């Protein structure tokens, strides 16, 4: 087949067909305008394949040199924006192959020896996704570092801790921020683990059954820095578990971002007033001049639904497919690409935004004083005096009821009033009832005491530096 024939609408794959593909079908089935982002991976895979073909004596050294020369020219053209992507050639693979054949002649045609677009595209997506996972790992580390920095600054800041969005117990704001660091660290672990299953080579599976050519698949895997080869040719070309697994990990990360976003939105509202977000991450209102809207957290909360949708789409895409490759699998790329783009952009902007948060500790502490946040501390105090916890709980409930009736905090009740609920209560109770005393008392591993927050900050810094 000549290079001109490769450009024909109906002859890019075979001379079997007697009529050209309709333009409507051509547009409907083509993927080149979104899968062209795989071009670096496609060229890398082709160069590794060509090197192996030459080593196995399946193509000549001259052909191998010509392929390398042609791919270098194509790389230069794509980087310079000179490459002519053609809808008629369907996808990134045929576009690059056709151009290579134009540049180097028959050597370009020999490149496809022993492979199919089925194993080629599976390889390209894996190579591309592997690099994206590495980039996401770096972005996750940057976001964690920004949170750790803020947590260290706010280790002593008292925040009302909530359950059911009701004031529950006082916590360090730094401790609260480190909860998200834990979430994002698990996300990083999930991506790193998923990478192991992404980084396996399908190339050599050909269309579905393997090939009769004496390929050295392990050599190609080593050249590409992959951890091994896919062991079943049918599974190699049709598997998209790795894409679903990646998107699942991305969904969890976006869920964590969304939870953090919800808190940022609440904390910034006038009803809370705990923080301010830098102006560059917010917008105003077209009608209400006093408004400062937390657009970035709100949009991230919305984009989480978008990524969740991509996960559902990929799962649904695969659920009814028989072995082996089916054209359905072309629909894996746009949701995967958009998931990567959405996640990377979100992580990048959140790392910057966290660094621009202004904390209002006085507002946080005032809020912590409103909800009888040290009630549990009084119960623990009575337990240490010998009461069973359930009895202590009942005593404190009566004390809180009295405080509510008096419009006072527990710490503002006179000692005589407190002793009326139980005679074992002494002067030392007021240290227990203070917010700072409550905070400092929780100094066990994982607790909210400032000393523990600093210990956790040090642990995270060491982990992120490693």
Q: Is 305 exposed, middle or buried (0-12, 13-18, 19+ CB in 10 A)?
A: exposed
The answer to whether 251 touches 308, Cβ cutoff 8 Å, is yes
Closest CA to 310 of 245, 238, 235, 239: 245
Rounded Cα distance, 459 and 260, in Å: 22
Taking CB atoms within 8 Å and a gap of at least 24, the contacts of 435-438 are 435/158, 435/170, 435/365, 435/368, 435/369, 435/373, 435/374, 436/158, 437/374, 437/377, 438/169, 438/170, 438/373, 438/374, 438/377
Rounded Cα distance, 10 and 20, in Å: 5
* Distance from the first to the final alpha carbon of the chain: 54
| Phi, psi values for residue 161, rounded to 5° | -80, 140
Rounded Cα distance, 453 and 176, in Å: 9
Asked if 164 is an active-site residue, the reply is yes
* DSSP label of 167: E
User: Catalytic: which of 18, 164, 212, 286?
Assistant: 164
Could you tell me how far CA 136 lies from the centroid of its own chain?
7
Residue with tokens 């400032």: 450
Kindly calculate the radius of gyration of the chain based on its CA atoms and give it in whole angstroms. Answer: 31
User: Catalytic: which of 285, 286, 310, 393?
Assistant: 285
Closest CA to 242 of 308, 191, 293: 191
Catalytic residues: 164, 285
């Amino acid at each position: 087949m000549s290079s001109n024939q490769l450009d024909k609408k109906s002859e890019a794959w075979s001379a079997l067909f007697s009529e050209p593909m309709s333009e409507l079908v051509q547009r409907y089935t083509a993927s080149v305008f979104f899968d062209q982002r795989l071009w670096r991976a496609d060229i890398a895979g082709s160069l590794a394949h060509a090197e192996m073909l030459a080593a196995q004596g399946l193509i000549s050294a001259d052909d191998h040199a010509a392929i390398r020369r042609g791919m270098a020219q194509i790389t230069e053209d794509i980087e310079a924006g000179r490459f002519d992507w053609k809808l008629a050639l369907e996808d990134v693979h045929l576009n690059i192959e056709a151009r290579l054949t134009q540049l180097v002649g028959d050597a370009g045609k020999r490149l496809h020896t022993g492979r199919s677009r089925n194993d080629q595209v599976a390889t390209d997506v894996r190579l591309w996704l592997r690099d994206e996972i590495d980039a996401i790992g770096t972005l996750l580390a940057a976001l964690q570092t920004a949170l750790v920095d803020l947590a260290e600054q706010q280790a002593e800041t008292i925040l009302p801790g909530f359950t059911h969005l009701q004031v529950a117990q006082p916590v360090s704001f730094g401790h609260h921020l480190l909860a998200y660091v834990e979430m994002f660290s698990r996300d990083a672990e999930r991506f790193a683990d998923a990478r192991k299953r992404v980084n396996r080579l399908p190339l050599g599976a050909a269309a579905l059954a393997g090939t009769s050519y004496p390929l050295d698949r392990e050599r190609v895997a080593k050249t590409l820095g992959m951890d091994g080869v896919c062991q079943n040719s049918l599974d190699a070309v049709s598997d998209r578990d790795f894409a679903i697994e990646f998107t699942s990990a991305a969904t969890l990360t976006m869920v964590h971002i969304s939870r953090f976003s919800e808190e940022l939105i609440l904390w910034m509202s006038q009803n809370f007033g705990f923080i301010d977000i830098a102006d560059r991450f917010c917008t105003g209102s077209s009608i209400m001049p006093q408004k400062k809207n937390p657009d970035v957290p709100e949009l991230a909360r919305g984009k989480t639904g978008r990524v969740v949708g991509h996960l559902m789409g990929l799962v649904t895409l695969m659920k009814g497919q028989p072995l082996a490759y089916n054209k359905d699998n072309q629909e894996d790329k746009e949701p995967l690409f958009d998931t990567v783009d959405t996640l990377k952009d979100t992580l990048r902007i959140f790392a910057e935004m966290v660094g621009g948060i202004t904390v209002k500790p006085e507002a946080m502490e005032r809020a912590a004083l409103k909800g009888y946040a040290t009630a549990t501390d009084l119960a623990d105090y009575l337990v240490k005096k010998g009461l069973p916890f359930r009895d202590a709980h009942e005593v404190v409930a009566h004390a809180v009821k009295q405080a509510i009736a008096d419009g006072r905090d527990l710490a503002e009740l006179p000692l005589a009033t407190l002793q009326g609920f139980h005679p074992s209560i002494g002067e030392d109770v007021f240290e227990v009832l203070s917010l700072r005393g409550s905070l400092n008392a929780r100094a066990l591993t994982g607790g909210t005491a400032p000393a523990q927050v600093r210990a956790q900050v040090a642990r995270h810094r060491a982990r992120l530096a490693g």
